[in-house]
Structure 1
């Protein structure tokens, strides 16, 4: 706060002082005081008013500076009313009381919203586990009565499972660190498990998957990594071209990290949209054209990769291919 701003805020006080000075000047002149003496009194009066105002300004400036510095050091800014020194004036006491009341109301509201979100999350997770039971039952019935129609039904149930799994992982996105176990895993084994889980869907869509070039080991969580790979493969199938879908999965040791590339021969992505595919809700021209995109799948992949310490990039050429690259960092302290 500048001194000029402080003076503007106290214009009424200055006007009262000036009016009082004029009043007493008239009285003193009436009692016969000389003009030189009057001028001296006015100079003394102006000096007293100025230094008094300046002293209050410096005190207020120090107080504001202290509050701002205290605020900067706090991770939780809303605790400023609890951490700051006791109010020094009656006006500060009123302001602090209002601030504490507003913060308590905000805290209560946030707590209630968190409680409702937790209840909703618990309900979603419970519903997902319950809905998996009849889906599994349908799959078992179809497995025991293998016909062409039953295979198509299994393919659709696998698609349903993939959508349900997406909802589950989205619900758990905020607490990934509580539900993962980092250990050495085989990339090929993880990929094969994903393909096995969706074999009927892949067969139904006549997808050709090449996994011969995967051989590296990485440190990650197999469940969360499986979801990421599964989502990328499903996207490759969803945005396939008129040609039979072909997906190539390759791993390569790059020295400081291992890269898993997943390449398809689909319709590709426009260069202007490549940098936005990981944005939440972004469907792009392909999604609007096919009307099947939600803009959540790759967003989930990006967020999970961030929490797992995996780098993710995407390369594409419209009408030719799309390649998703997963970069798994190496760390010497993991080799214990």
Structure 2
């Protein structure tokens, strides 16, 4: 890079010495030895200058090329030449301005998130009251209203967990958990919808205990089972557990709509719903995204297999019991 920048100087030196050689050739009164001395002396001065100039500029140029972000400017040297010092001052001004902008936007984001959190908590009270009123109803009206209430409550919970997600590492409490209790809680929340859609549960748990965080695992199971119920009707959802290579595996299989092969690898993307069922307004596209992010934090491997129009299976593979300390230390 240095030599590319100094091509004009190299060309100027070459032209200057070519002129000297031409003068020596054309003017016979000038001894060839004198011309040679002048040429070699110029060459020596030029080489010494280039070495000195390269040495004083090398350090700053290398630091400039290694910059990974504007924040790295703070640990750079200020340079050895007026041009380098000017560049450093300009970059540092940009760094300070950028940091002020980031801080300003961060404050706005925190304020917006705090307002959103307060709004959701305020919404929770009337939502809870609605649930009590719905439970006092009978017949089909109760089932329909209960279904809409479940959907509304689920969306509010998604937003709450989305806000908590960045700080999930500080919110983990790893303990021994009975997975059957977690499943029963998730299923109970969807009881009315399951009755309306004639959906049952076929549960076979060969292993019930896992080491993980109860609250976040409950969220994961709520999302998975809610999706199974949402896209199924008139069939049973099969839930199984087994131990493979010392790790507990839990699978949830529904025989509903299924997922197209081209969509499988995208279901964990934020906001993605479907490439074909655009008329489906039940999905926000955030549930499986949050589920994946929580599973990563809990060191749970989540895998989805599906045949469109036939079935969908979600499999969770939990960490071994003696690995919980690794999770909390990440």
Q: Please indicate the TM-score interval, normalised by the length of the shorter structure.
A: 0.7 to 0.9
Instruction: Report the secondary structure of 1:295's partner residue.
Output: coil
C-alpha change, 1:321 and 1:296, in structure 2 (3 Å) is same
Contact 2:243 2:249 in 1 (8 A): yes
Q: CA deviation at 1:285?
A: 3.5
Structure 1 consecutive aligned stretches of length 4 or more whose deviation exceeds 6 Å: none
Cα distance in 2, alignment partners of residues 195 and 286 from structure 1: 29
Equivalent residue, structure 1, for 2:37: 40
Equivalent residues, number: 324
Give yes or no for the alignment of 1:57 onto 2:49: no
- Aligned CA RMSD, in angstroms, stands at 2.9
- Which residue is 2:82 aligned to? 90
Q: Which secondary structure does the structure 2 equivalent of 1:292 belong to?
A: coil
- CA shift for structure 1 position 14: 5.0
Shift in Å, 1:117? 1.2
Which residue of structure 2 aligns with residue 112 of structure 1? 104
SS in 1 for 2:278: helix
Residue aligning to 2:165: 173
> Matched residue of 2:120: which SS?
helix
Match of 2:290 in 1: 300
Flag the 1:204–1:123 CA change in 2: closer, same or farther, 3 A.
Answer: farther
Counterpart of 1:124?
Answer: 116
CA distance in 2, matches of 1:66, 1:162: 51
Residues 186-195 or 219-228, more deviating: 219-228
Q: Distance in 1 between matches of 2:294 and 2:48?
A: 61
Cα distance in 2 for residues equivalent to 1:26 and 1:83: 52
Per the TM alignment, residue 26 of structure 1 is displaced from its structure 2 partner at its CA by 7.0
**Normalization by structure 1: what TM-score?**
0.85
**In structure 1, what is the Cα distance between the partners aligned to 2:17 and 2:104?**
56
Give 3-state SS (helix, strand or coil) of 2:6's partner.
helix
Given candidates 191, 194, 202, the residue that maps to 1:199 is: 191
- Partner residue in 2 for 1:267: 257
CA contact (8 A) 2:207 2:243 kept: no
Q: What is residue 128 of structure 2 aligned with on the other side?
A: 136
Contact 1:214–1:249 at 8 Å: present in 2 too? Answer: no
Give the TM-score taking structure 2 as reference length.
0.86
Distance 1:281 1:334, change over 3 A: closer
On the 8 A contact 1:185/1:222 being kept in 2, the answer is yes
- 2:73 alignment partner in structure 1: 81
Return the match for 1:224 from 200, 204, 216: 216
Structure 2 contact 60–84 (Cα < 8 Å) conserved = no
> Is the CA contact (8 Å cut-off) linking 1:237 and 1:245 kept in structure 2?
no
Deviates more, 1:113-122 or 1:171-180: 171-180
